[in-house]
Chains A and B, each alone.
Chain A
Amino acid sequence: AQKVTQAQTEISVVEKEDVTLDCVYETRDTTYYLFWYKQPPSGELVFLIRRNSFDEQNEISGRYSWNFQKSTSSFNFTITASQVVDSAVYFCALGRRPNTGNQFYFGTGTSLTVIP
């Protein structure tokens, strides 16, 4: 069975602090895909990143970085020097290979509040 766990329900940090959002996944698929989405207070869901299971390279995009470790089934998201605009709910998701029915499994989300 597929499962995504985001154990941190809510996190508060002071502006300019670094923060890491945890994501742990479960799957028996050998090929799978991992995603992060941002849901700002306005409510829309914004795609941030996708990683393939066969590519464990970490990725950095500006203040955002992602650490993918297959050994621990984790795909953690770090925001460096947080800003108030980073306040949002962040969802981690697992995608499956084609022809396996439901394609996406979402975690329950982590609500991040950045305090000015």
Chain B
Amino acid sequence: NAGVTQTPKFRILKIGQSMTLQCTQDMNHNYMYWYRQDPGMGLKLIYYSVGAGITDKGEVPNGYNVSRSTTEDFPLRLLSAAPSQTSVYFCASSYLGRTEAFFGQGTRLTVV
């Protein structure tokens, strides 16, 4: 099984550009999450989803948008890139909170 797949692995954006980070999981997990990890810092929750068609904001949602049209996919959209969005982005999924979350490999995004 592939688990959680994120694309791209690296990206450089110019200020004001938009982009979509893709995330797909093949484990039929209900829950999916997007986190960002700033250098030397912990994980901050951007958005999460409890199932197809249901999303909710996390701790740091400003400047981002998500959708969950299928169980498998949970793309994260950056609306207008800012230097403060330079970070490593992780997508994760879990069956429920009582089971561990599986993480993608991360996307390293730099905004210049």
Partner-B contacts on A (CB < 8 A): 32-33, 35, 43-45, 47, 50, 52, 91, 93, 95-98, 100-104, 106-109, 111
Tell me which residues across on chain A come within 8 A of B43, comparing CB atoms. 91, 106, 109
Q: Are A104 and B94 in contact (CB under 8 A)?
A: yes
Tell me which residues across on chain A come within 8 A of B50, comparing CB atoms. 101
Partner of A35, one of B90, B96, B100: B100
Interface flags, B71-112, vs A, CB<8A=1, else 0: 000000000000000001010101011111111011000000
- List 11 A-B pairs, Cβ < 8 Å: A43-B88, A43-B106, A45-B103, A98-B96, A102-B45, A102-B48, A103-B33, A106-B43, A109-B41, A109-B42, A111-B40
Q: Are A44 and B31 in contact (CB under 8 A)?
A: no
Q: Residue among B35, B92, B101 with the most chain A CB within 10 A? A: B101
Partner-A contacts on B (CB < 8 A): 31, 33, 35, 40-43, 45, 48, 50, 56, 58, 88, 90, 92, 94, 96-103, 105-106
Docked Cα-Cα span, A95 to B94, in Å, equals 10
Shortest CB distance B35–A (Å): 8
Q: Are A103 and B42 in contact (CB under 8 A)?
A: no
Docked Cα-Cα span, A95 to B95, in Å, equals 11
